[in-house]
């Protein structure tokens, strides 16, 4: 157990490698209650609220149908990323999940713009069930999840209380995130862990799973100085939002049109030595070109994997760079992400 964003969190239960591979093969249960859960209820109507949220995010809120969830970004006036998040349209309000380390700042930012429409959730845990057997496990307790698609959201009445369920996650695998009342959280977790294919998973495997999936970790791969375009998150900015009208639109639209000076890329080090966060990257002629922001061993890939930022002039897939590890410059190659194919339920 280690301190993490004000919580005590498990790094591992039976070993990072074993937990990682179990999640890829069967189903892993993660306690992600440290994440921030927020309800945003309209003072007047959902359309007005959606328009107000679109001033804060370069994504389409208004076009999100009821019962669906979307990846979003809170941006600052300089075009950097305050936080990345998930938000869902639940008919008469939006449900938002934000990162643990940004929770207080996000709630303050949202409240400054939206006032008492912002309602932090303080009486619920959050569990994530991930892996190819996740749907079979959860459907034993909640049969309705079997027909959900990727990014669908439902509310299910159960013996554990009303569950807010999305078919989503942070591993590249099919799975679910489940908001459960505190009083039912222990019972739900124990019921899932009693199933043969479900095992508890810690922070270590959560990190290696998301790295193989090419997913950003806030505070490492993205931050307030990083634009969505540098981070390769162009896909999250719908065509309808590419005319501006959101925080940081000047920089973000310019980079959309002209390209950024640096880009987030996937990296495959040669050999077996991982290249960790902070590893400096050089062109073959010795020119400094970037830095690793996340790196480690990919158990499913069977080799080290990393991601980082490099100058746009050196960001082409297949380019060989050098990473400085303990005074030695070792080769690595720019590779497409994700490093493993996603298995989302479309």
- Asked whether the domain spanning 261-335 has the same topology as the one spanning 2-212, the reply is no
- In this predicted model, what pLDDT tens digit does every residue of 64-107 receive, in sequence order? 999 999 999 999 999 999 999 999 999 999 999 999 999 999 99
For range 132-146, the mean pLDDT: 98
First to last CA, the chain: 36
For the chain, the domains span 2-212, 261-335
- In this predicted model, what pLDDT tens digit does every residue of 289-308 receive, in sequence order? 999 999 999 999 999 999 99
How would you classify the pairing of strands 161-166 and 81-89? unpaired
- In this predicted model, what pLDDT tens digit does every residue of 264-292 receive, in sequence order? 999 999 989 899 999 999 999 999 999 99
DSSP string, 152-206: BEEEEEETTEEEEEES--SSSSSEEEEEEEHHHHHHHHHHHHTSTTEEE--HHHH
Q: What's the pLDDT score for residue 68? A: 98
- In this predicted model, what pLDDT tens digit does every residue of 33-51 receive, in sequence order? 999 999 999 999 999 999 9
Three-class SS of residue 7?
A: strand
Chosen CATH of 2-212 out of 3.40.50.2300, 1.10.645.10, 3.30.1360.120, 3.40.50.1980: 3.30.1360.120
For range 204-225, the mean pLDDT: 98
Q: What's the pLDDT score for residue 5? A: 86
Q: How would CATH label the architecture of 261-335?
A: Beta Barrel (2.40)
Calculate the alpha carbon distances from 190 to 92, 138, 160, 166, 335 in Å. Answer: 32, 12, 11, 20, 40
Q: Whole-model pTM above 0.85? A: yes
Q: Is the pLDDT of residue 167 over 90?
A: yes
The rounded mean pLDDT for the chain is 97
Determine how many CB atoms are found less than 10 A away from the CB of residue 100. 17
- In this predicted model, what pLDDT tens digit does every residue of 323-334 receive, in sequence order? 999 999 999 999
Q: Is the pLDDT of residue 166 over 90?
A: yes
CA 132-341-125 angle, to 5 degrees, is 50
For range 198-222, the mean pLDDT: 98
Q: Is the pLDDT of residue 346 over 90?
A: no
Contact 220, 294 (CB under 8 A): yes
Q: What's the pLDDT score for residue 187? A: 98
CA 14-18-22 angle, to 5 degrees, is 115
Q: What's the pLDDT score for residue 87? A: 98
């Amino acid at each position: 157990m280690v301190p993490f964003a004000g919580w005590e969190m498990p790094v591992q239960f039976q070993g990072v490698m074993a937990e990682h591979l179990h999640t890829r093969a069967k189903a892993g249960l993660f306690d992600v209650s440290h994440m921030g859960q927020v309800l945003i209820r309209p003072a007047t109507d959902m359309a007005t609220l959606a328009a107000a949220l679109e001033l804060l995010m370069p994504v389409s809120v208004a076009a999100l149908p009821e019962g669906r969830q979307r990846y979003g970004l809170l941006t600052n006036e300089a075009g950097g990323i305050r936080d990345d998040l998930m938000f869902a349209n639940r008919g008469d309000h939006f449900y938002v999940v934000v990162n643990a380390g940004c929770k207080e700042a996000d709630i303050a930012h949202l409240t400054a713009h939206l006032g008492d429409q912002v309602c932090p959730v303080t009486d619920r845990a959050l569990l994530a069930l991930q892996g190819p057997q996740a749907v079979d496990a959860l459907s034993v307790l909640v049969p309705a999840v079997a027909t959900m698609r990727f990014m669908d959201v439902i509310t299910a009445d159960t013996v554990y209380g009303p569950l807010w369920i999305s078919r989503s996650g942070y591993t590249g695998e099919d799975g679910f995130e489940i908001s459960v009342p505190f009083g039912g959280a222990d019972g739900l977790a124990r019921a899932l862990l009693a199933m043969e294919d479900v095992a508890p998973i810690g922070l270590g495997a959560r990190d290696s799973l998301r790295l193989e999936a090419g997913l950003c970790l806030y505070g490492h791969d993205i931050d307030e100085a990083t634009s969505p375009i540098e981070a390769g998150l162009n896909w999250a900015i719908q065509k309808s939002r590419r005319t501006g009208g959101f925080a940081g639109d000047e920089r973000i639209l310019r980079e959309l049109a002209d390209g950024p000076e640096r880009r987030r890329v996937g990296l495959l080090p040669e050999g077996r030595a991982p290249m960790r966060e902070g590893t400096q990257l050089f062109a073959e002629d010795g020119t400094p070109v970037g830095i690793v922001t996340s790196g480690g061993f990919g158990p499913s890939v069977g080799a080290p994997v990393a991601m980082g930022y490099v100058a746009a002039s050196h960001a082409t897939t297949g380019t060989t760079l050098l990473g400085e590890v303990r005074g030695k410059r070792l080769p690595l190659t720019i590779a497409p992400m994700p490093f493993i194919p996603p298995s989302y339920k479309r």
